[in-house]
């Protein structure tokens, strides 16, 4: 097989590779690029890359570091808005409320906690990078079957092509075909919430402040975009979400401005509106039977604190580190031993982050006064106690559980 990225049709014959990555969202694209850079003959398989996605992603500093290591950040940065401050406002109207608190990235000697970018622009940059990456072939086809065996995994495509590899990486989302083929069970749960997602123009500058209002139905979050624009995630009851979705642009903008207490002045709707039911998923394992999972194939949780894709990119970084080390030792990259190392690297980070987001979301929904008091006291302490505040900021960017392998990888070229 050619080691040059190409759109040329793949002949319907069996081809053997080191790794097949299935799925071309940001996690899958980044995985494929990283593994090709690590010297692994890699094939990326997906029907198409979504260049029309109007949603946004807040890339926290550790994700920025990974993209910078891959020489991609310089293309993304001009299209992103800095998140230099993160403001939390208790808008529950309850008897026990937390004080307003603002976290400042400069307290950690950082320019910003992260950067917010439109998904369509992020995806386009990553796709272009994948297309030109030596050692990576991008096959734009649909996967029909994934068949793990003792010595390799076979992947059958809808055009009749059959591919084989020592390892398959599932970056194919919450309904992952790779996860099912590997026989990995999941734990799932739902919330009585839906998220209205869209982008806004506003009269006042956001001053690089990301603002999250905590309401009785969930967070109402405004995240800066370039210029006088912000992305919005408004978590409400399913009934309210459907009502808001049906409003005219003018009526919706007025309602959202009221919910934001006009902190950014007059709103104007600047994108299509989308509504998503909130749910959670965590895979019982992130690897089995020569299959490894990254991103939403391994974990899904509510859009709180910009944790979703950032957790997925930590999966990518750890997988890249484990496979590089296996290759250097001459180990089988798809063996139980190698996949066990990946499982060990990811388990604590995934479980603690998923639990933390779940608890924070449920703490907004509960009417139990002890829970409300604990949340309020925690935020009060974070605002008053410097070491605690700085610890929380560092954990928000990259948890201790996800730090060692990620940073050791970023330190090596």
Is 71 domain-assigned? Answer: no
Rounded to the nearest integer, the mean pLDDT of the chain is 89
| Predicted TM-score of the model (pTM) | 0.89
Burial tier of 8 (Cβ tally within 10 Å: 0-12, 13-18, 19+): exposed
Distance (Å, whole) CA 302 – CA 308? 8
Structural domain that includes position 132: 15-52+119-187+280-365
Which tokens sit at 248? 């005219």
Is 292 domain-assigned? Answer: yes
pLDDT at 370: 59
* DSSP bridge pairs for 49: none
Q: Residue 263 to residues 93, 200, 314, 346: CA-CA distances in angstroms? A: 18, 13, 34, 39
pLDDT at 6: 43
pLDDT at 377: 61
pLDDT at 306: 63
CB atoms closer than 10 angstroms to residue 71: 11
Q: Of residues 62 and 240, which shows the higher confidence score?
A: 240
**10 band by pLDDT with thresholds 50, 70 and 90:** very low
Is 204 domain-assigned? Answer: no
Residue 294 · residue 12 · CB < 8 Å: no
Task: Answer positive or negative: Cα dihedral of 197, 201, 204, 207.
Answer: positive
Please count the structural domains in the chain: 1
**What does the H/E/C string look like for the chain?**
CCCCCCCCCCCCCCEEEEEEEECCCHHHHHHHHHHHHCCCCEEEECCCCCCCCCCEEEEEHHHHHHHHHCCCHHHHHHHCEEECEEEEEECCCCCCCCCCEEEEHHHHCCCCCEEEEEHHHHHHHHHHHHHCCCCEEEECCCEEEEEECCCCEEEEECCCCEEEEEEEEECCCCCCHHHHHHCCCEEEEEEEEEEEEEEEEECCCCCCEEEEEEECCEEEEEEEECCCEEEEEEEECHHHHHHHHHCCHHHHHHHHHHHCCCCCCCEEECCCCEEEEEEEEEECCCEECCEEECHHHCEECCCCCCCHHHHHHHHHHHHHHHHHHHHHHCCCCCCHHHHHHHHHHHHHHHHHHHHHHHHHHHHHHCCCHHHHHHHHHHHHHHHHCHHHHHHHHHHHHCCHHHCHHHHHHHCCC
360 pLDDT exceeds 90? no
Q: Of residues 398 and 83, which shows the higher confidence score?
A: 83
412 pLDDT exceeds 50? no
* DSSP bridge pairs for 230: 200, 224
Q: Tens digits of per-residue pLDDT, 153-204?
A: 999 999 999 999 999 999 999 999 999 999 999 999 999 999 999 999 999 9
**63 band by pLDDT with thresholds 50, 70 and 90:** very high
Is 80 domain-assigned? Answer: no
Is 404 domain-assigned? Answer: no
Residue 361 · residue 303 · CB < 8 Å: no
Q: What is the mean pLDDT of residues 365-383?
A: 63
Distance (Å, whole) CA 236 – CA 387? 34
**99 band by pLDDT with thresholds 50, 70 and 90:** confident
Q: What is the mean pLDDT of residues 133-140?
A: 95
* DSSP bridge pairs for 285: none
Q: Residue 191: which of 284, 303, 269, 105 has the closest Cα?
A: 303
Is 180 domain-assigned? Answer: yes
386 pLDDT exceeds 80? no
Q: Tens digits of per-residue pLDDT, 11-21?
A: 444 567 999 99
Domain of 179, CATH number, reads 3.50.50.60
Residue 126 · residue 21 · CB < 8 Å: no
By mean pLDDT, which of 126-135, 260-269, 296-305, 342-351 is the weakest? 296-305
**209 band by pLDDT with thresholds 50, 70 and 90:** very high
pLDDT at 407: 44
Q: What is the mean pLDDT of residues 93-97?
A: 74
pLDDT at 359: 78
Is 262 domain-assigned? Answer: no
Is 326 domain-assigned? Answer: yes
Of the CA atoms within 13 Å of residue 59, those in its CB half-sphere come to 23
- CA 329 and chain centroid, separation: 31
pLDDT at 400: 62
137 pLDDT exceeds 90? yes
**1 band by pLDDT with thresholds 50, 70 and 90:** very low
Q: What is the mean pLDDT of residues 377-383?
A: 64
């Amino acid at each position: 097989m050619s080691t040059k990225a190409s759109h040329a049709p793949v002949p319907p014959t069996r081809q053997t590779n080191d790794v097949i990555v299935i799925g071309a969202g940001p996690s899958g694209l980044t995985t494929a690029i990283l593994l090709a850079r690590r010297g692994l003959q890699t094939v990326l398989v997906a029907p198409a890359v979504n260049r029309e996605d109007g949603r946004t992603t807040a890339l926290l500093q550790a994700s920025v570091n990974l993209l910078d290591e891959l020489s991609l950040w310089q293309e993304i940065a001009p299209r992103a808005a800095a998140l230099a401050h993160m403001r939390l406002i208790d808008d529950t109207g309850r008897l026990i409320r937390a004080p307003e608190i603002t976290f400042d990235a400069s307290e950690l000697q950082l320019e910003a906690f992260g950067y917010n970018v439109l998904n369509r622009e992020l995806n386009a940059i990553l796709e272009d990078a994948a297309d030109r990456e030596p050692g990576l072939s991008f096959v734009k086809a649909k996967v029909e079957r994934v068949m793990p065996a003792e010595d390799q995994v076979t992947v059958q495509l809808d055009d009749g092509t059959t591919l084989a590899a020592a390892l398959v990486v599932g970056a194919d989302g919450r309904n992952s075909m790779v996860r099912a083929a590997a026989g990995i069970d999941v734990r799932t749960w739902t919330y009585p919430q839906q998220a209205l997602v869209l982008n806004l123009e506003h009269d006042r500058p956001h001053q690089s402040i990301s603002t999250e209002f905590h309401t009785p139905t969930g967070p109402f979050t405004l995240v800066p975009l370039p210029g006088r624009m912000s992305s919005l995630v408004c978590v409400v009851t399913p009934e309210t979400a459907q009502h808001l979705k049906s409003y005219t642009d003018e009526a919706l903008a007025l309602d959202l401005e009221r919910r934001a207490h006009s902190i950014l002045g007059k709103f104007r709707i600047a994108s299509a509106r989308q509504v998503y039911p909130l749910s959670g998923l965590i895979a019982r394992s992130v690897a089995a039977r020569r299959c490894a999972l990254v991103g939403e194939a391994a974990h899904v949780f509510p859009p709180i604190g910009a944790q979703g894709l950032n957790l997925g990119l930590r999966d990518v970084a750890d997988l890249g580190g484990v496979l590089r080390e296996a290759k250097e030792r001459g180990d089988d990259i798809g063996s139980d031993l190698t996949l066990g190392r990946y499982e060990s690297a990811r388990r604590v980070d995934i479980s603690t982050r998923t639990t933390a987001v779940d608890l924070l979301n449920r703490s907004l929904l509960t009417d139990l006064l002890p829970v409300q008091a604990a949340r309020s006291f925690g935020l009060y302490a974070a605002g008053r106690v410097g070491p605690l505040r700085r610890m929380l900021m560092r954990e928000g960017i990259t948890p201790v559980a996800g730090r060692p392998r990620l940073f050791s990888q970023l330190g090596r070229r």
